[in-house]
A and B are shown apart, each in its own frame.
Chain A
Amino acid sequence: MLLGLMACSMAARALSPEQALAIAQGDSDARIAALNERVTAQDAQLAPFVEALLADEVRLAGGKVYLVRGSAVTVAGSGASATLPEGAEEVVNNNRMRQALEGALAAFRLSSPDREARAKALADLRDVIDEGLVPLLERAAAKETDERLKAELAMLKAKALIGSADASRRLAAAELLANSPDPAVRSLLMEQLAQESDAAVKAALQASLVKVESRLVWGERLGVLFTGASLGSILLLVALGLAITYGLMGVINMAHGELMMIGAYATFVVQNLFKAYLPEAFHWYVLAAIPVAFLTSALVGAVLERSVIRWLYGRPLETLLATWGISLMLMQAVRSIFGAQNVAVENPSWLSGGVQVLPNLTLPYNRIAILVFAALVLVGMALLISRTRLGLFVRGVTQNRRIAACMGVNTARVDTYAFALGAGIAGLAGCALSQVGNVGPDLGQGYIVDSFMVVVLGGVGQLAGTVYAALGLGVLGKLLEGWQGAVLAKIIVLVLIVVFIQKRPQGLFALKGRSAES
């Protein structure tokens, strides 16, 4: 502490050994104060020293600070080469200290001639801002020519001053912060409000808080809507496969979730193959994984249909039990092959990150991609069912199996194709899920109840119903989740579905005519 004060009193242009010691030793508060003092003094030698600190290359021994770069050892501050004494200790930086060090580096970049670099520096400073850095910010603001960055600098200054000991500075900061677009300002204001003693500042804080909140509310609303639509798009992908197997064929496939799991594991395998053999094209592995996931699941589906399910047509309860048995075996098989732990599926770079729409609303690329993907699958399936020969056959067999057979349709083969198609779409859903969630043997279990709810709600034999039900349940679920928490939301949705079925036992879009009666 004493050393820190001494270091502060000797305001030299270049980093002295004493100042280096003050930054490297002592408690975090004193170290940060010493560090910020040097940052404000725009010490040119500080940056390499801070970098060394961050890289754990600094050692302490006998009140001296040494920089260790490979085999070369120098005394910090003077730059003289030295030998490292016995028992030199490594300088340990806790998280707070690390943030401050990174902030110091960012502060240096504030005076960079490149606008992008300055903007980046401002963003980095946002979390480490401290009253000690205010003079630096003021200097940077004086030099800044870009209006936007200037406003951001002012905002940053307000943030630094909100905790100031001087009430008038706090008041000014509180008023300034009302215009901040940063969502973190709300908690900052609330925190300060809780401990504020000055009445005038309190009122200003309150007023700013109201303003900030009213600005944030839209981002939050849209955020809920987006996560709802995102969940809905996942449910849609899951339910589209079910719409074929259950909706068109009347087969309750409890192994649907496991077919998704197979799709997700297929994605995992493709990812690993790309990693091993095509590392330069790794980022495009997802595109290769899509057909692989589809074909793998479709193949498993076709085998299942040929071996088990075809014997159970017209006996839905038995199908339910048999497919449950299949799901148990598939899960155990995956456990035997890949282990019981979750496996890691990485997002390719073009799917990580997100687009910032509002200050507190960032839409992740992977979720957007799934929304688009679900829409594409939906369109593809609708075209397949309504425009192709296979679709015609599937519809024909669904409506009247015997007449279709009389017309020369090979109904058994159509069943196999249709079931494989449903399974393949489940595989696509699994491929999509692998980009947003965990991939493990019980991946499918979590979605099976929800997806059957979608089919029940949407009604049998209808794609449109499935779409509306999936998106509706997704958005409704997320809205309720924001209001009542995830568990109660699920229960409320369930109760609503039960009540809804009272009114419309055949789902949202019931088939009219004789085929609706079963």
Chain B
Amino acid sequence: MSTQLGVRGWTGVLVALVVVAVLVPVLNLAVAPGSALHLSDFYVSLVGKILCYAICALAIDLIWGYTGILSLGHGLFFALGGYGMGMYLMRQIGRDGQYKSDMPDFMVFLNWKDFPWHWAWSDSFAAQMLLVVAVPGLLALVFGWFAFRSRIKGVYFSIITQALTFAAMLLFFRNETGFGGNNGFTDFKRLLGIPIDQAMRVFLCALSGVVLVGFFVMSRAIVHSKYGRVLQAIRDAESRVMFTGYDPVAYKLSIWTLSAVMCAVAGALYVPQVGIINPSEMSPAASIEMAIWAAVGGRGTLIGPIIGAFFVNGAKSWFTVAFPEFWLYFLGALFIAVTLFLPNGIIGLLRKLGGILSSSRRSPEARK
């Protein structure tokens, strides 16, 4: 594979952009609902959701597939981004809530008279979007600095990130935290003063696609740069990297923070599309599922996690409708099968199949 995107690579990127940014909106909005080519609203929201998940899978891949750090707490960053966006959306409801108050309904319900301090910026879109990136980024930076500095790695790190998101979930479940407790935020009405209707959802879906493609190109540049090489060296033999004179902490910390921010952006795009954010996004199970998207698709490749996110979540939406009781069996079996039989995921499988096909096409003895 080339170090830069070749002609084929850029064509692929362009095609992907056209599909999500032009084809999906046109098929949903412009094609009549009766037509065979019409993309129903359900599928638009599904695609939009999965595009956000794919960003998470890509983020996980950067730290797990390329740096060898398995995070079981990325759901926290995703949810924090989502909550950041949710706070702004709650303010956008204005006086249209159940209680016709300037305050969000849950605050009226709790009999709060003033906004808590962390809601100070929530009526400004620009400021809140800054927080969407800054808060998870800062949390990742501080947590990562403590963890990497004392060389917590491997499973220890995974378990501690899991405990982190678990603790955050407990915190967000409380009403006093000021994030709507159990129910979280929902019932959003508008974004930037524009009602959140189907056109808006299609736009957000397309935007998620564009952001995903943007992150993909960025990740591509990262992993093929010298910086990315060092990351992969850290993954393969951290001690040797240290002996060669590099300081892994700075490398790990920077990619870890970037990955957290990517997840937060995905969360912020996700919330207005699905219309709800609550603490269950922070449950350890949600974060582990993110890891499996990357593993199923094939970690250590950039396209793999995106494919994995589509595959697993597509299967989930099909199973939960067709055989709801078998979904967990399937997901569990997927975890086991991927780790036992497909260490390189779907991409690895395709490559293997491709290798067999191309060699058998040439000549039988060339296989040896």
Contacts and interface: CB of A to CB of B under 8 A. Distances in A.
A, B: real partners: yes
B158 A317 contact: yes
B335 A328 contact: yes
Given A322-B335, A322-B336, A317 B167 contact: no
Given A490-B167, A491-B170, A498-B160, A316 B328 contact: no
Nearest to B283: A445
Interface in B135-174: 143, 146-147, 149-152, 154-156, 158-160, 162-164, 166-167, 170-171, 173-174
Given A502-B146, A502-B149, A487 B334 contact: no
A200 B100 CA distance: 51
A48 interface: no
B340 A322 contact: yes
Nearest to A246: B155
Interface string A485-506: 0011011001001110111010
A100 interface: no
A139 B284 CA distance: 65
A52 interface: no
Interface stretch (B242-250, B288-296, B347-355): B288-296
Provide the main secondary structure of the chain A interface: helix
A161 interface: no
A452 interface: yes
Contacts of A333: 329
Contact of B155 (A311, A316, A502): A316
A329 B333 contact: yes
B158 A320 contact: yes
Interface residues of A, number: 42
Contacts of A498: 143, 146-147, 160
Contacts, number: 110
From B143, B160, B338, name the one whose CB has the most chain A CB atoms within 10 angstroms: B160
B162 to A, nearest CB: 6
A449 B335 contact: no
Contact of B328 (A321, A328, A488, A497): A328
A321 B146 contact: no
A328 B334 CA distance: 11
Contacts of A503: 150
B333 A456 contact: no
From B292, B325, B339, name the one whose CB has the most chain A CB atoms within 10 angstroms: B339
A503 B146 CA distance: 11
From A332, A490, A518, name the one whose CB has the most chain B CB atoms within 10 angstroms: A332
B170 A325 contact: no
Contacts of B34: none
Interface string A318-356: 111110111111011101100000000000000000000
Contacts of A184: none
A258 to B, nearest CB: 10
A252 interface: yes
Closest 4 CB pairs of A and B: A325-B335, A329-B332, A328-B332, A332-B328
9 contacts: A252-B159, A320-B158, A325-B331, A449-B166, A449-B284, A453-B163, A488-B171, A491-B167, A505-B152
Given A449-B163, A501-B160, 4 more contacts: A324-B335, A326-B335, A332-B325, A456-B156
